[in-house]
Amino acid sequence: MKIYIVICLFICFQQQTLAQKINTDNLVKLINFCDSTKADEILISHKGVILSHWMRSDFGNIQRNGELSNCMSPYMNTASMLKSWTGLLIGILIDKGLIKSVDDLACQYIPDWKIGCNNEITIKHLLTMTAGFKRLGAQGVLSAADMNQFVLKLQPDTIPGIRFAYSNESVQLLGILIEKVTELKADIAFKKYLLQPLNIDSTSFSKDSAGNIVVFGGCTTTVQNAHKIGLLMLENGSFNRERIVSQKWIKESTTPNSKVPYYGYLWWIDKNSKYWNYAATGDIGQMIIVFPELDLVFVRRQSCDLSQASRNMSWMGPVFLEHIFNIVE
């Protein structure tokens, strides 16, 4: 029989204003729904207070191909959630004056990237997936032994700013830019400017065969750490009353442009739901979703069922959103 681990801080509920009360019955319904989607761990908070931190009871004892496989680990693979973190780091470096503007040509900071200069690709183009690169998927930078050299030689196939195409390559170019302006390896820059100010530890980055740090995915961390990123966004760039990144950057990051109404600076944006929200998402349903009007942060992890069928994120639709909306009255 499955056991649900739900941490409900009722003393905090009693302090809620009459305008926003937590419906604990609907919270349990959300957890049951998440269980049905093959989630392995979720964390949800309201105004920074954890309402529930749930893990499935059979987590770590999952049947795979007829054999038991232990997938229990305190760590999650962020997958492409890391892209949104990279966007935050770019904002911090702009705040610190290491980057002047998103409208600068990216090659101003990556002098050996001649293709970027010739095609006038800006930092904003890279942040919004409109640099002109076509979507390469597994045949792109993911398969390269030297990812940095691969992206530096990649030619766009259309004019920048015209077309949205989801691109690991664009984000890896931002990683090169980060290393140039900070004079640090990308993982060290992340730790110095973003992770340590958020008290995030137990986090490691992937490397390619050439030793380049991967900044478009593959970071290993915990659900609790991912939740801190969500809180930073909810608090408009502050954490524990300390300014980490400017409120201006948070607003820009979560504002879609006219050509791409569902994407900001490496954050997915939903303006069409009852309550607007934005998300950092990764393969197999790794996710941080922020609901500003409800003061909610939702984090989801899936580590055990890695089947192709699980890559279909259709669960993240109206039913899921209604469960979320029904938590706050």
Residue 112 Rama label (left phi>0; alpha psi -120 to 50; beta): alpha
| Percent over 70 (pLDDT), the chain | 88
Q: Is 217 exposed, middle or buried (0-12, 13-18, 19+ CB in 10 A)?
A: buried
CATH, domain range 76-266 = 3.40.710.10
- Type of residue found at 150: F
Tens digits of per-residue pLDDT, 200-228? 999 999 999 999 999 999 899 999 999 99
Least confident of 6-15, 170-179, 247-256: 6-15
Q: Is 183 exposed, middle or buried (0-12, 13-18, 19+ CB in 10 A)?
A: exposed
At 288, list the tokens: 């941080």
Domain boundaries, the chain: 1-73+287-329, 76-266
Q: Is 24 exposed, middle or buried (0-12, 13-18, 19+ CB in 10 A)?
A: middle
The alpha carbon torsion through 144, 150, 151, 156 (nearest 10 deg) reads -110
- Which pLDDT value is given to residue 28? 95
- Which pLDDT value is given to residue 7? 45
Tens digits of per-residue pLDDT, 89-130? 999 999 999 999 999 999 999 999 999 999 999 999 999 999
- Which pLDDT value is given to residue 15? 44
Tens digits of per-residue pLDDT, 281-318? 998 889 999 999 999 999 999 887 777 666 667 777 88
pTM value surpassing 0.75? yes
